[in-house]
Amino acid sequence: MTEKIKLTFLGTGGMIPTEKRNHPAFFLSYGNEGILVDCGEGTQIQFRKAKISPNKITRILLTHRHGDHTFGLPGLFRTLAMSGYKKKLLIYGSKGIKKTIDGIFQAFGDTTEYEIEVKEVLGKFLETKDFLINAEKMVHGPLCNAYSFVLKGGTRLDKKKLRKFKIKEGKHLSDLKQKGYMIYDGKKYTLKSLAITEKEKKVSFVLDTSFNDRIAPFVKDSDLFVCESGFGEELAEKAKEYMHLTSGEAGKIAKKANVEKLCLVHISERYEKKSSELLKQAKKYFKNTFIPNDLDVLSV
Residues that bind Zn ion (CB under 5 A): 66, 68, 208
* Residue 162 identity (one-letter amino acid): L
Residues 6+ apart with CB under 8 A from 52: 8, 27, 29, 34
Instruction: At 271, give phi and psi (nearest 5°).
Output: -105, 20
Catalytic residue selected from 68, 208, 223, 294: 68
In the complex with Zn ion, the residue whose CB is nearer, 67 or 154, is: 67
In the complex with Zn ion, the residue whose CB is nearer, 64 or 255, is: 64
CB of 300 to Zn ion, least distance (A): 24
CB of 193 to Zn ion, least distance (A): 51
Q: 148: closest CA among 213, 76, 227, 71? A: 227
In the complex with Zn ion, the residue whose CB is nearer, 215 or 300, is: 215
CB of 277 to Zn ion, least distance (A): 20
CB of 22 to Zn ion, least distance (A): 12
CB of 148 to Zn ion, least distance (A): 19
In the complex with Zn ion, the residue whose CB is nearer, 66 or 201, is: 66
Print burial letters for 225-256: b (CB count within 10 Å at least 16), e (below 16).
Answer: bbbbbbbbbebeeebeeebbbbbbbbbbbbbe
In the complex with Zn ion, the residue whose CB is nearer, 194 or 226, is: 226
The three state secondary structure string of 35-96 is EEECCCCCHHHHHHHCCCCHHHCCEEECCCCCHHHHCCHHHHHHHHHHCCCCCCEEEEECCC
CB of 266 to Zn ion, least distance (A): 6
Our answer to whether residue 68 is catalytic in this structure is: yes
In the complex with Zn ion, the residue whose CB is nearer, 70 or 79, is: 70
Catalytic residues: 68
